[in-house]
Each structure stands twice: as structure tokens, then as C-alpha cells.
Amino acid sequence: MYSKKIQDMLASLGVEVGDKLRVKSKGDIYEGILMPKAELGDPNTLVIKLSNGYAVGLNFEGAAIERLGGHTEIGFKSREAKMKHVEGKSTISILSTGGTVASRVDYTTGGVYASYNASDLVSTVPELGQFNINSKFLFGIMSEDMTPEHWREIAKGVLKELKSDAEGVVVTHGTDTMHFTTAALSFMLKNLNKPIVLTGSQRSSDRGSSDSFINLLCAAHFASKSDVAEVSLVMHGSPNDDFCYAHRGTKVRKLHTSKRDAFKSVNDDPIAKVFPNGKIELVNKNYRKRSDSEVSLDDKLEEKVALIKVYPGINPEIFDFYLEKKFRGFVIEGTGLGHVPTTIEKDSLIPKIKEATKAGIPVCITSQCIFGRVHEFVYANLRKEFEAGAIFCGDMLPEVAYVKLMHVLAHSKNMEEAKKMMLTNIAGELNERTPVFE
């Protein structure tokens, strides 16, 4: 944003962002389009885009501004195109929810808007023309802003598409919390009959080097022709533009902030390798197959669940806050095999675990190691935790345990039932056996 001073000055001259201006600054003359001010940078500096395409910042102090006439509309305008279905082509549905994959730069301002819709994506990936596409725009938000309410909306949208003629459903999504959404959909959608594939990108689609093209194409292939009637997540399998992995929605996590192959299967093999040309190589034969089963939606969630990470120096009093606020469940990301501070009395979380459990509030234990399973018996301290009532969640990911506990608490009458459900595999989130990875 420009400073108040600049804004007032522009208003008094009737100048708007996008107008062509002549700026006289220290005896020099600059001509170009007035750009909006990015969040970063000095608010007292005018940014002018010159005719050669470059932008420069000029001190506003002492500058004389003159309007030249001519105005450039700033901001991206989406073009909704209705796509005709062609007989003989496989039909898929693409639901757009926002995120980097749906982001499009405004070439004037450089601002990135999550405003791309599915048909815009098709125009960037012509290979998608081999499919008939039902495209729906659900919403356009970045994934850090996703809430359980959005999961419900996506689940409803997906259910509708599952009941259509589509072979499978692709959901484009921001990457940061995509694995929360895949977990939520995995628990909310019952008796799946077709593939549901979430995909996104780490580089926005306006870049020639974006990973979105291949991710989207592989997701479309996987939705269209794979036999995997589960919620999966399809993203780059390597730093190369060669193939994607289809990960099980409850066994995947974002493990890098910026790399293309940020998503990895955790404590499980990916389900398949998917290539841009449509080839699918199964890696893991353990999956739910396509069928004619009747899909149903059960989107009840108890949202008062907290996910708490253990660290040296954690103050047990933070549990008091949640208990006072009437939270109904805890997922703890313990250290190592699922430890919490135990031995030193004033630091111990054991009394809090006891207190919660006594009040019928489940305390579930996962590990911040991410890889591996927790264990309640290896050390005496773990046994104390277990005896206090903590529920050790095997090889379940912390994020998945968090989403599952929301689901479980909305579907259980008491602690005992909740515990039983947490420890029962519902959607591939729990493996009894840990495969050996390469």
C-alpha cells in the first residue's frame, strides 16, 4: 500500500493505479504505468512500469506527476469456458479449491491470486483435452486458510461428482495442508467406489517451470483409469519432471517447504507411480478397489481437538487452557517413541493426562519423529504415560490422528468407544506391519 500522503496526492490529481503517468523527479522524466505498491518496499516510493517492461521505484518527495491518459486494467480476469463432452473420451471431474496450483500471477503487479479455475488449468495443460472434464470451482483459498468447514464443503462436492458419470474426481488444493484434507476426506467418505485424487503444486501455474502441469496430468490419469477407490494425493515423485507418486491420503505428509517432491509416504509405500503419459505402475497392492458400492458422506466432526507438540521446557499449564475451554480431545506429538516429560514432578505431563482421561477426554500419543511407530512399553516412562490413560496410536501420523480424533469424537458415546475406534484402522491410517523402505 502507498502511504497516506501518496494516496491523497493521487486522489487529488484523479490518478488511479494503472494510469499512464509522467513523473518528474530531480529533473529527470519517467513515463509509465503506475503500479500498485507491494506489501514489501517503501510506501513513499512510487512504482512506475516503463515501456520496456521494467519497473522502477521513484521517491515521491519532490516528484511532479502528470496524467498522460490511458489506463491499464490491473488484475487477472478468469475466462470461464464451457467444455463440450466428446463420446469415447474418459470423463473426470476437477474441483478447484485454490492454492498455488490455482494461482495465477497478475502480470502487471506480480500479485498472485488463487483465482484460477479448472478450465483455466485445462488451457495451460492441453494434454487434458484427452478427457471430458466436469469442472467445478468450489472456492479459491490458500491451504493455510482451510478449516474443517472447507473439508465438509469439499467432501460434499466430491460426493456429488462420485455420483456422476465421472471415472474419478480430482481436487486441486494448496499443498501446505493437503494431507489434512486427504485424511479428512478419507474418514468422511464411506464405501468409496472411485478414485479421489488431490493434487497441487509447489510452483504457481503461471511459470513455465511449474510442477502443476505434470501433477495435474498425472492426477487426471490416476483418477480416470486407476483401480484405486481411495483418497490419494498425487504429486511429484522426484525433483525431475518425470513421474508422480500416488500416496495414500492417510499415510502422506508434506516434508519439505519448497521442493517439488515435498510429499512422501510415511510408514507405508506409495500406492503407485504415475507417469505423464498415463502409465501407472502399482507399488503397493494393498488398496481398496473400484466397485459399484453406494458411497455415503458422514461429515460430523468434533472440532474441539488440540494437537500439541512436546518440547523440552513445555509448561504443563497449557493443558489447563484447553481444559477450561472445554476441548474434548488431545493429540500429543511426543518425542521419540511417544514420550512426554514424566520424571520431574513440576514438568511432568502425566498429571494432565490423568486429569483429562478422568474427565473422559482422550489423550492420543503420536511421534514428532514422523517416521516410525510409538510404543507404550519400551521404557518405564512410556508405561507411566500409558497407565495414566494415554492412547498410543501406533504408526499413525500426528496430523492424521488429529483429524481422526475429530471424526471419532463425533461418533463415539464414551471414552472406551473412542479409544477402540482410534485403535481400529478405518481408512488405511494404521498399519500393523511397517514395510522396509529402500
The residue behind cell 510409538 is 374
DSSP-assigned beta bridge partners for residue 286: none
The residue behind cell 500439541 is 308
If the CB atoms of residues 153 and 241 are measured against other proteins, the closer one turns out to be 241
- Which residues contact residue 300 at a Cβ distance below 8 angstroms, ignoring those fewer than 6 apart? 407, 410, 411
Contact between 277 and other proteins per CB under 8 A: no
Q: How far is the CB of 58 from other proteins (least distance, A)?
A: 5
Residue from the set 59, 296, 343, 434 that interacts with other proteins by CB under 8 A = 59
Q: How far is the CB of 115 from other proteins (least distance, A)?
A: 13
Site for other proteins in 116-135 (CB under 8 A): 123-124
- Binding-site size, other proteins (CB under 8 A): 49
Stretch that binds other proteins, among 30-38, 279-287, 301-309, 421-429 (CB under 8 A): 30-38
From the list 45, 91, 97, 100, the catalytic residue is 100
If the CB atoms of residues 41 and 435 are measured against other proteins, the closer one turns out to be 41
Sketch the per residue contact string, 72 through 111, with other proteins: x for CB under 8 A, - otherwise.
Answer: -----x-x-------------------------x-xxxxx
Q: Which three cell numbers stand for residue 195?
A: 478414485
From the list 176, 211, 299, 395, the catalytic residue is 176
Contact between 55 and other proteins per CB under 8 A: yes
Q: Which three cell numbers stand for residue 178?
A: 493437503
If the CB atoms of residues 80 and 387 are measured against other proteins, the closer one turns out to be 80
120 an active-site residue? no
If the CB atoms of residues 203 and 375 are measured against other proteins, the closer one turns out to be 203
Transcribe 321-369 into DSSP letters: HHHHTT--EEEEEEBTTTB---SSGGG-SHHHHHHHHHTT--EEEEETT
Residue from the set 210, 342, 366, 431 that interacts with other proteins by CB under 8 A = 210
Site for other proteins in 225-264 (CB under 8 A): 239-242, 257-260
246 in Cβ contact with 220 (< 8 Å): no
Distances in Å between the Cα of 370 and the Cα atoms of 84, 246, 342, 401 are 45, 19, 21, 12
Sketch the per residue contact string, 184 through 203, with other proteins: x for CB under 8 A, - otherwise.
Answer: -------------------x
176 an active-site residue? yes
If the CB atoms of residues 111 and 336 are measured against other proteins, the closer one turns out to be 111
**φ and ψ at 91, to 5 degrees?**
-105, 135
Give me the sheet containing 272-274, strands edge to edge. 131-137, 90-96, 168-172, 196-199, 231-236, 244-248, 272-274, 280-282
Contact between 51 and other proteins per CB under 8 A: yes
If the CB atoms of residues 108 and 265 are measured against other proteins, the closer one turns out to be 108
Residue from the set 3, 22, 57, 273 that interacts with other proteins by CB under 8 A = 57
Contact between 24 and other proteins per CB under 8 A: no
From the list 20, 37, 251, 254, the catalytic residue is 254
If the CB atoms of residues 112 and 421 are measured against other proteins, the closer one turns out to be 112
Distances in Å between the Cα of 392 and the Cα atoms of 350, 351, 375, 388, 430 are 14, 17, 7, 12, 12
Count, residues in the chain:
438
**φ and ψ at 152, to 5 degrees?**
-65, -45
- Which residues contact residue 275 at a Cβ distance below 8 angstroms, ignoring those fewer than 6 apart? 218, 221, 242, 243, 244, 281
354 an active-site residue? no
3-state SS assignment for residue 405: helix
Stretch that binds other proteins, among 13-21, 56-64, 247-255, 399-407 (CB under 8 A): 56-64
Q: Which three cell numbers stand for residue 240?
A: 525431475
In 10 A of CB 264, how many CB atoms? 19
> CA angle, 250 as apex, 203 and 257 as ends, to 5°?
30
Q: How far is the CB of 56 from other proteins (least distance, A)?
A: 4
Secondary element (H or E) of residue 399 = helix 398-409
If the CB atoms of residues 35 and 361 are measured against other proteins, the closer one turns out to be 35
77 an active-site residue? no
Q: How far is the CB of 51 from other proteins (least distance, A)?
A: 8
Q: How far is the CB of 96 from other proteins (least distance, A)?
A: 17
From the list 175, 177, 181, 342, the catalytic residue is 175
Q: Which three cell numbers stand for residue 407?
A: 471424526
Q: Which three cell numbers stand for residue 211?
A: 510442477
If the CB atoms of residues 64 and 436 are measured against other proteins, the closer one turns out to be 64
Residue from the set 1, 13, 38, 380 that interacts with other proteins by CB under 8 A = 38
**φ and ψ at 285, to 5 degrees?**
-80, -5
Residues identified as active-site: 100, 175-176, 254
Which residues lie near other proteins (CB under 8 A)? Answer: 25-26, 28, 30, 35, 38, 40-42, 45, 47, 50-59, 77, 79, 105, 107-112, 123-124, 203, 205-210, 213-214, 239-242, 257-260
